[in-house]
Amino acid sequence: MATPIVRRNSNQSNQPSTTGKPNLLPLKTRRFAAWAVEFTLLVVSGLVPFGIGVYANSNSDVHRVPLHPALVATEKAIAYPLALPVSYGTRNVAWVTNFFWSLAILAPLGVSGWQLYLLATTGSTTPKRWFGIRVVNKQGMAPGILAVGQRELIGRWTVPITLTYILWRSSFAFPNLGVFMAITAAIWLVDGTGLPKPKPRRAWHDRLAGTYTIDGTLPFTPEQLSSQNQWTDADEEEAIASIVITPESQPESSPKTSIWQRLQQYPSLTLIGAAIASITLVLGALISVQIYTQIQQNRRADQQRNSQQFVSLLQKLNSKPRASNEEKRNAILAMGTLDTPQANQFLVDLLVKEANNPQLSNTIAQALVNLGLKAIPDLKRANQSLSSPSETGKKISAQKQKLKQQGLQLNIQVINKILAVHSGNTYNANLSRVQLVTNSPKTPSLKLILDKVDVWGINFKYANLNQASFKGSRFRGAGKDGRWDTYDDWIADLSGAQMQRADLTDANLSRVLMVKTNLSRATLNRANLLNARMVNANLSSSQLVGANLRGAVLENASLTGADLGDAKLNEADLYGASLGRVIAIGTQLSHANLTNTNWQAADLSGADLHRANLRNANLSATLLKGANLGHANLENAKFRNADLSLADLRGANLTGADFQGAILSSGKSNRADKFIQTPTVGAESAVVQGVDFTQVKNLDIRQIAYICTQGALHPRCP
For residue 229, pLDDT beyond 80? no
Q: Concatenate the DSSP letters of all residues of 461-516 into one string.
A: TT-B-TT-B-TT-BSEE-TTTT-TTSTT-EE-B-TT-B-TT-B-TT-B-TT-B-TT
Q: What are phi and psi of 234, to 5 degrees?
A: -65, -25
Residue 651 CB burial class (10 angstroms; 0-12, 13-18, ≥19): middle
Give me the sign of the Cα torsion angle 234, 237, 238, 242: positive
pLDDT digits (tens, 9 = 90+) for 120-149: 999 999 999 998 889 998 888 899 999 999
3-state SS assignment for residue 131: coil
| H-state helical runs in 123-217 | 126-130, 145-148, 159-169, 177-193, 204-209
> Measured at the alpha carbon of residue 148, what is the angle toward residues 146 and 150, in degrees to the nearest 5?
70
Q: Which of 217, 235, 214, 218 is nearest to 226 (CA)?
A: 214
Rounded Cα gap, residues 545 and 524, in angstroms:
7
> In the beta sheet, which residues pair with residue 94?
64
pLDDT digits (tens, 9 = 90+) for 379-403: 999 999 988 876 544 566 777 788 8
> Measured at the alpha carbon of residue 246, what is the angle toward residues 243 and 251, in degrees to the nearest 5?
125
**Separation in Å, CA 115 to CA 108, 111, 330, 652:** 10, 6, 74, 48
The H or E element spanning position 102 is: helix 95-122
Q: What is the pTM of this model?
A: 0.73
Residue of 541 and 667 predicted with greater confidence: 541
Task: With beta carbons less than 8 A apart as the criterion, state whether 717 and 676 touch.
Answer: no
- Looking at every residue in the chain, the average pLDDT score rounds to 83
Rounded Cα gap, residues 490 and 488, in angstroms:
6
For residue 251, pLDDT beyond 60? no
pLDDT digits (tens, 9 = 90+) for 500-548: 999 999 999 999 999 999 999 999 999 999 999 999 999 999 999 999 9
Rounded Cα gap, residues 479 and 269, in angstroms:
51
Rounded Cα gap, residues 548 and 564, in angstroms:
10
All structural domains of the chain with their residue ranges: 14-143+211-246, 544-718
Paired sense of beta strands 92-94 and 64-66, if any: antiparallel
Torsion angle (degrees, nearest 10) of CA 11, 16, 17, 20: -90
pLDDT digits (tens, 9 = 90+) for 279-304: 888 888 888 888 888 888 887 787 77
Predicted pLDDT at 198: 62
> In the beta sheet, which residues pair with residue 438?
446
Predicted pLDDT at 319: 63
Give me the sign of the Cα torsion angle 25, 30, 36, 38: positive
**Domain topology for 544-718:** Pectate Lyase C-like (2.160.20)
For residue 248, pLDDT beyond 80? no
Task: With beta carbons less than 8 A apart as the criterion, state whether 492 and 508 touch.
Answer: no
Instruction: Please tell me what DSSP assigns to residue 692.
Output: B
Predicted pLDDT at 242: 44
Task: With beta carbons less than 8 A apart as the criterion, state whether 690 and 713 touch.
Answer: yes
